[in-house]
Structure 1
Amino acid sequence: MTIKVAVDDAARPAVRGAACLWPGIAVAVWGLLFAVPSFVWATGCTSGARTTVSPDLVRLAEDRVPWFVAVLWVTGFLKVFGALIGVGLTRRRGRWAGRLLAFCGGGAAVLLAWHGALFVVHGALVEAGTRTVAPGLAGLTRWYLFLWGPWFLAGGLAFAVATVRYVRRLDVRGDVRLHGVVGALGALLLSLASMITGVG
């Protein structure tokens, strides 16, 4: 009986460590997978994009419009940066690095969840017949409802869980938590401003 207790106690830290690691790893995998289409489309290959993304965006990629190609490269690298944030959220970092990770993690969680929720709500309204879109975009709306919306929501949830666990496990003074909240609120205000102005 004593041996069993000792083994269980020894195993608990490893279990706790694994439980804290998986959200950050999930963020990293999500970010890397999401970066692939951006890089592929930036090279001019629009395979898989014609039926799942707005035709106007596909045309910009196929025509190799310089500013849009630059946007694709930048978004691809931002997604890789998000993956690195996920890796950073798996273990204790220095004080300033911890604040930055919490800030970025909180902001990414809100931005992605907001974006995904808009896709899902808009798609659901179109499917329910309470909103209309151009006939050529009807099939595309389903992709945003069933693929892109949930994908963004999954990324937002992964960032939220990873950031909350990071803060709970490592924040002793409350300053890391504060930076996470500031990042989340900043992202929320940015999202609201984008929706109100129609920019973004």
Structure 2
Amino acid sequence: MSLRRETAGSPARRPGYAAAVWGFAFAVPSFYWALGGLAGASTAVAPSLVELARERNPGFIAVLWVTGALKAAGGLLGLALVRRRPWGRAGDRLLQLSAWGAAVLLVWHGALFVGQGLLVQAGVVGVDPELLPVSRWYTYLWGPWFVAGGIAFALAARSRLRTVPADERRPARTAGVVGGLGALLLSAGALAAGIG
């Protein structure tokens, strides 16, 4: 049983570090808005959400804290993907499940932002004229940002899988498939229910 040896700066670890940076960086706006900051929000985020933040709606503020914590957890997941098997077999499976779930969820969500935004920009789908600038942000910044995060998690999971001993790779790969399919089903269900 031979494991690939990697140093901290190894190219195989870069996707995990990229996923970590993505998660931590993406948590900052959520925490900033939860703490009451609104600079730049009115041009980059849906007006209804800005209004909830401005009113300090308790439910929305709680959502901001939770989403910030989830994004920070994504950063920790990215770091866990570069660690040397700290939790053995169960850890390998849990990391694959989580990383592929995050990857699919983020790519799906980002692709929806981009796809819907491009339809709006092309005039196929109409929106209130005051939402056009916000639509551009979702199309050209937020959507690609989600997709980039998803790609980072997918690459990190793939790199991590290569370090798993050969006899344990199949169960870890299966856990990744379950995570990805679970995220896809969750996303499709939310879309069908009109959520997100």
TM over 0.5: yes
1:65-99: CA deviations, max 9, x gaps? 11110110011011110001001111332221221
2:191 is equivalent to residue 192 of structure 1: no
For 1:85-119, what per-residue CA distance to the aligned partner results, in whole angstroms no more than 9, with x for missing partners? 00111133222122111111000000000000000
| Aligned residue type for 1:156 | G
User: What is the DSSP-based 3-state SS (H/G/I as helix, E as strand, rest coil) of the residue aligned with 1:44?
Assistant: coil
Structure 1 residue 76 and structure 2 residue 68: aligned?
yes
Partners of 1:123 and 1:144 within 8 A in 2: yes
Does residue 1:18 correspond to 2:10, yes or no? yes
Report the Cα distance in structure 2 between the residues aligned to 1:99 and 1:169, rounded to whole angstroms. Answer: 12
1:31-110 aligned within 5 A: 31-93=23-85, 94-110=88-104
- Higher RCO (CA < 8 A, seq sep 6+): 2
Pairwise mapping of residues 124-139 of structure 1 onto structure 2 (< 5 A)? 124-139=118-133
- Verify the 8 A CA contact 1:92 1:98 in the aligned structure 2: no
Aligned equivalents of 1:36, 1:44: Cα separation in 2: 12
Equivalences, count: 189
Q: Residue 169 of structure 1 corresponds to which residue in structure 2?
A: 163
**Runs (5+) with no aligned partner, structure 2:** none
Aligned-partner Cα distance in 1 for 2:90–2:5 = 26
Moved over 4 A (4+): 12-17
Q: Say if 2:101 and 2:182, in contact at 8 Å, map to a contact too.
A: yes
Structure 1: gaps (5+ residues): 1-11
Distance 1:142 1:66, change over 3 A: same
Identity of aligned residues (%): 54
In structure 2, the partner of 1:179 is 175
Per the TM alignment, residue 15 of structure 1 is displaced from its structure 2 partner at its CA by 7.5
Normalized against structure 2, the TM-score is what?
A: 0.92
Q: Which residue pairs with 1:146 in the alignment?
A: 140
CA change 1:169–1:14 in 2 (3 A) is closer
Equivalent position amino acid for 2:19 in 1: V
Q: Distance in 2 between matches of 1:144 and 1:188?
A: 21
Q: Secondary structure of the residue that 1:38 maps to in structure 2?
A: helix
Give the Cα–Cα distance (whole angstroms) in 1 for the partners of residues 165 and 56 of structure 2: 46
* Larger-Rg structure: 1
Partner amino acid, structure 2, of 1:30: W
TM-score (normalised: structure 1): 0.90
